[in-house]
Amino acid sequence: MAETPASAAALKTVTLVSSDGERFEIAESSAKQSITIGNIIDDGCCDASIPVPNVTGKVLTKVIEYLKNHGGGGGDAEKKEKDDELVSAPVPVLLDYILAANYLDIKGLVDLVAQEIADSMKDKSPEWVRSEFNIENDYTPEEEEAVKSHFAWAF
């Protein structure tokens, strides 16, 4: 049975190399969901492999799972279940995911992780947010009190 051009394209793969040297083979059609990787492929610059210098192997594994999940096939319920599993990670891990998704220009993943981070902050105190995101409080007690009184509706 002869392959059609469409089926040959679906079988074509690219190799991504993480910042720590791990290699991942992924279908080109899935990889092209990343605008960054898609541009590299379209420019013909991926003869051997595509380096992804800002993303570790551990994070790239999850990004690739997302790309495969959203690369076609599967129902919406199945995609949502896998997405929910992906974003059930702690906030520091979610921050790694969003940095990778932003670097690779994967809008759907950026939106998914950003929404999860926003939901995790909902109804939390400024102290909780500072603690969870390792944000140093650079306000003096007087400045903080002035902000709280000026924006009392937010507290």
The string of pLDDT tens digits covering residues 30-81 is 999 999 999 999 888 767 799 999 999 999 999 999 999 997 766 788 899 9
pTM assigned to the model: 0.80
Q: Which helix (H) or strand (E) holds 35?
A: helix 35-42
Residue 105 Ramachandran class (φ > 0 left, ψ -120 to 50 alpha, else beta): left
Q: What is the pLDDT of residue 10?
A: 54
Q: What is the dihedral of CA 44, 40, 4, 1, to 10 degrees?
A: 90
3-class SS of residue 9: helix
Higher-pLDDT residue of 72 and 18 is 18
Q: Check pLDDT > 80 for residue 7.
A: no
Q: Kindly report, residue by residue over 98-155, the tens digit of the pLDDT.
A: 999 999 999 999 999 999 999 999 988 888 898 888 889 888 889 888 888 888 887 6
Range 5-122 classified under CATH 3.40.50.11030: no
Q: What number is the average pLDDT over the span 82-99?
A: 94
The pLDDT of residue 3 is: 45
